[in-house]
Amino acid sequence: MEAAASYVKDTELRLGLPGTDAPEKPAAARGSKRALPEAGDDKSKSSEEDCGDRETPVAKAQVVGWPPVRSYRKNSFSLQARKGEAEGAGLYVKVSMDGAPYLRKIDLKVYKGYKELREALDWMFKCFSQGDVSKKEGGNNGSEYAMTYEDKDGDWMLVGDVPWDMFISSCKRLRIMKGSEARGLESRH
Amino acid sequence: MTYFPEEVVEHIFDFLGSHRDRNTVSTVCKAWYQVERLSRQHVFVGNCYAIRPERVMARFPRMKSLSVKGKPHFADFNLVPYDWGGYALPWIEAAARCCTGLEELRLKRMVVSDDGLELLARFFPNFKSLVLVSCDGFSTDGLASIATYCRGLRELDLQENEVDDHGCQWLNCFPDSCTSLVSLNFACLKGEVNAGALERLIARSPNLRSLKLNRAISVESLNKILSRAPHLVDLGTGSFAVDDRAEAYHRLMNCFTKCKTLRCMSGFGEASPCCLKALYPVCINLIVLNLSYAPAIPSDDLIKLICHCSNLQKLWVLDCIGDKGLAVVASTCKELQELRVFPSDIYGAGTTSVTEEGLVAVSSGCPKLNSVLYFCYQMTNSALITVAKNCPHFIRFRLCILDPGKPDPLTNQPLDEGFGAIVRSCKNLRRLSLSGLLTDQVFLFIGLYAKCLEMLSIAFAGNSDKGMIYVLDGCKNLRKLEIRDCPFGDGALLKNVEKYEAMRSLWMSSCEATLGGCKALAAKMPRLNVEIINESGNLVESKENLSDVNKMEKIYVYRSVAGPRNDAPEFVWTL
């Protein structure tokens, strides 16, 4: 493949999504003057038909510094977009259970929601407890344990209050609390 | 008047607010020059290379406040290479030698180093206020110096800077004795700060009126902060990510009910739609609202919020507000003076979020509108004509149609008539940015009617040299002209060379001007710096290969009494 050309392309500043080509040229009605700078290699589309007719512009021009939006602003949006993507690294947190001789580590990204998390922990710590770790329906007297977590501010919170995505982004470690401590927490909810 | 004692003349000069007026009176006679220079406290330098720092310090020894601007405006859009220049250190060093009474420093688009910040912190005993806008080159270590050594610091305002996070707990460096903070803005910092240290700092800052948090600050922290600082006027919210079922949300709403003085809000970086409801108690008091960094909020939720904001004077939003949302702005915000609509979908294929309809609606509904920045996918001549009729009081009109060179979709005509209507109607227009398909005709209109115009930005427009010539000949008050990708060549560049001495600067990139043209300009006008910025390859080598007919990729021309820069990198060649 044209390794050099593709390297150059990779380092270009472009507006199109990665993988899109064919920059749009301004309408030929402008005259014979130079259209866009040679920011890209393929200009397979002459886009007179694009200007003005469509409601949604499809291929954007590969033009450096266009649209004139400050790089700070552009970067802050791409940061947010990237945050939403799954990152390869995984999100490992320690899980401790009161009374258990050792801790475990789990990858929060693996679970789709609270139900799966509880089931996984249930299974993981089954050998240390008589009852279920998961909250049983019917409230207070159901469970012997409560799942809590330490958040970014260092506070110990009850698992389950906030949306799952918010939880995994703020959870630093998990603690399965047992007995009276747990009941104290449970009775407030 | 020269026979009055100096103190009287000085007292009269005190009534002159603007630096331009003071510049003018200082040219009347030697006596006035002396009185003026010794009494000037606020010094503004629009181009850091127009004059050497030492000369400024020598002329104004009693300077208390200094503002300096560095890189050309197009640096914001990556058109100026990273290490082009604009260094703050020479200014700080010069001030450290002669003007240690300096209290305030405001820098825009400059390269600031940690060393510079440390110098600032240590050598200016009365230093009170640091404002950095769109700067880079420094890290949290530099901020730690400011926090540690500036006794009596009142203002630390970091706006949209690129700051390296060295992880040090700079906020913890504010000593317990620091109780003077009035304004703290660290919204642009990417790293974490110690929430506890922040809360304690705020608790001992009774004069704090403006606080802008970064995204690392959680809503839980925000709640604690607001309860310590109920007299805030200006708030940047931090992450603002909270579920409306959570207790933190209810506490937040409660806090806002107590913030009676809150007038300006920004931030909302991770805000979800339900969070906005917490703001309803303060909306009626808001005069400034910046939602332009909150991409997760759909139009309907924005509308619900805007409905409560009937006293808004300045609104910055993303185009996901839609034409429908702008119609609500038009019917609700009768005090609106400034509107900015930014594109939310810079990288993707884009859906039509706002069109000319939104702008027309706001122009019709908001009688006090005088400043607009509008990114949209299409614009028509008839819409612009309507806007011009509705808003003859525009001082700033910046329109960016996202497809370069796009014509009026209804008529397939250029937008000359539309922009012509704007400049004809808005007699006080000071700043104008053009876009869409435009011929030389629009420049004829601008030269003819835009007599107050000070700054003009042009991209992908015009047919010939005539366009640029109309502007240079007609716009008597033009100070800054920035052009990219237009067919203007040596004929335009050389037609009215004296004009450039009456302007701060000219930027031309991807145009038709040649090396020969630039050389001719430099030869005719020795008090101009004509910079060629040639990034491709080693300039030293290619200087031999360059012939006069080669087109210059980037040209930056500015008046200067300092001569050619001594800090220019290899790829910058001053003719």
**A28-42 per-position pLDDT tens digit:** 333 334 434 433 333
Q: What pLDDT does B303 receive?
A: 94
Q: Tokens 């708030």 identify what position?
A: B235
- Dihedrals φ, ψ of B201, to 5°? -60, -45
**Confidence class for position A115, pLDDT limits 50, 70, 90:** confident
Angstrom distances, CA of residue A88 to CA of A84, A109, B219, B565: 12, 10, 28, 47
Q: How many whole angstroms separate alpha carbon B312 and alpha carbon B336?
A: 6
For residues B225 and B211, the answer to whether their CB atoms sit within 8 Å is yes
Say if strands B210-213 and B162-164 run parallel, antiparallel, or are unpaired.
unpaired
- The distance of A135 to chain B (nearest Cα, Å) reads 19
The answer to whether residue A66 neighbours chain B at the CB level (below 8 Å) is yes
| Interchain contact, B77 vs A63, CB within 8 Å | no
Q: What pLDDT does B307 receive?
A: 96
Q: What pLDDT does A18 receive?
A: 54
The answer to whether residue A189 neighbours chain B at the CB level (below 8 Å) is no
Q: What pLDDT does B311 receive?
A: 97
Residues 6 or more apart whose Cβ sits within 8 Å of residue B275: B240, B241, B242, B244, B249, B268
Q: Tokens 């290969």 identify what position?
A: B545
Q: What pLDDT does B474 receive?
A: 96
Q: Which two tokens stand for residue B245?
A: 């079922």
Residue B160: list chain A partners with CB under 8 A. Answer: 70, 72-73
Between A175 and A59, name the one with better pLDDT.
A175
Residue A167: list chain B partners with CB under 8 A. Answer: none
CA-based torsion, B33, B36, B39, B42: positive or negative: negative
- Dihedrals φ, ψ of A57, to 5°? -65, 130
Contacts with A, B 460-499, CB within 8 Å: 460, 462-464, 484-485, 487
| Interchain contact, B347 vs A78, CB within 8 Å | yes
Model pLDDT for residues A179-188, shown as the tens digit of each residue: 666 665 544 4
Q: How many whole angstroms separate alpha carbon A134 and alpha carbon B307?
A: 44
Predicted ipTM beyond 0.90: no
H-helix or E-strand spanning residue B448: helix B440-449
Averages of pLDDT over each 10 residues, chain B, 575 residues: 77 86 89 89 96 95 95 94 94 94 97 96 96 96 95 95 88 94 95 91 96 92 91 92 80 89 93 86 95 86 94 95 95 98 69 86 97 95 97 97 93 97 97 97 97 97 96 96 96 95 96 94 95 72 74 94 91 88
| Interchain contact, B350 vs A57, CB within 8 Å | yes
The answer to whether residue B250 neighbours chain A at the CB level (below 8 Å) is no
| Interchain contact, A66 vs B406, CB within 8 Å | no
Q: What pLDDT does B161 receive?
A: 95
**Amino acid sitting at position B261:** T
Q: Does residue A157 surpass a pLDDT of 90?
A: no
Q: Smallest Cβ distance to B349: which of A51, A56, A74?
A: A56
Q: What pLDDT does B432 receive?
A: 98
Residues 6 or more apart whose Cβ sits within 8 Å of residue B435: B399, B400, B401, B404, B406, B459, B460, B461
Q: Smallest Cβ distance to B78: which of A36, A65, A162?
A: A65
Contacts with B, A 90-119, CB within 8 Å: none
Residue A17: list chain B partners with CB under 8 A. Answer: 347-349
Residue B101: helix, strand or coil by DSSP?
A: coil
Q: How many whole angstroms separate alpha carbon B187 and alpha carbon B217?
A: 10
Q: What pLDDT does B349 receive?
A: 44
User: How many other C-beta atoms lie within 10 A of the C-beta of residue A48?
Assistant: 15
The answer to whether residue A19 neighbours chain B at the CB level (below 8 Å) is no
Residue B74: list chain A partners with CB under 8 A. Answer: 65
Contacts with B, A 22-51, CB within 8 Å: 24, 26-27, 29-31, 33-37, 50-51
- Dihedrals φ, ψ of B504, to 5°? -75, -45
Residues 6 or more apart whose Cβ sits within 8 Å of residue B82: none
| Interchain contact, A34 vs B510, CB within 8 Å | yes
The answer to whether residue A87 neighbours chain B at the CB level (below 8 Å) is no
Q: How many whole angstroms separate alpha carbon B483 and alpha carbon A18?
A: 29
The answer to whether residue A60 neighbours chain B at the CB level (below 8 Å) is yes
| Interchain contact, A63 vs B404, CB within 8 Å | yes
**Confidence class for position A130, pLDDT limits 50, 70, 90:** low
Q: How many whole angstroms separate alpha carbon B443 and alpha carbon A6?
A: 40
Q: Smallest Cβ distance to A37: which of B245, B408, B510?
A: B510
Q: Across the A/B interface, how many CB contacts are shorter than 8 Å?
A: 150
Q: Write the DSSP symbol of residue B551.
A: B
Q: Which two tokens stand for residue A18?
A: 């990665």
Q: Is the peptide bond before A67 cis (omega within 30 degrees of 0)?
A: yes
Q: What pLDDT does A15 receive?
A: 53
Q: Smallest Cβ distance to A74: which of B74, B346, B375?
A: B346
Q: How many whole angstroms separate alpha carbon B252 and alpha carbon A174?
A: 26
**Confidence class for position A13, pLDDT limits 50, 70, 90:** low
Averaged pLDDT, A37-65: 44
Q: What pLDDT does A184 receive?
A: 58
| Interchain contact, A77 vs B295, CB within 8 Å | yes
Q: Does residue A54 surpass a pLDDT of 50?
A: no
Q: Which two tokens stand for residue B72?
A: 């050309």
Q: What pLDDT does A62 receive?
A: 59
Q: Smallest Cβ distance to A15: which of B79, B346, B485?
A: B346
Among A115-129, A134-148, B190-204, the minimum mean pLDDT is found in: A134-148
| Interchain contact, A26 vs B293, CB within 8 Å | no
- The distance of A124 to chain B (nearest Cα, Å) reads 29
For residues B530 and B494, the answer to whether their CB atoms sit within 8 Å is no
Q: Smallest Cβ distance to B188: which of A64, A72, A161?
A: A72
For residues B195 and B217, the answer to whether their CB atoms sit within 8 Å is yes
For residues B360 and B330, the answer to whether their CB atoms sit within 8 Å is no
| Interchain contact, B405 vs A26, CB within 8 Å | yes
Q: Write the DSSP symbol of residue B486.
A: -
Q: How many whole angstroms separate alpha carbon B527 and alpha carbon B96?
A: 28
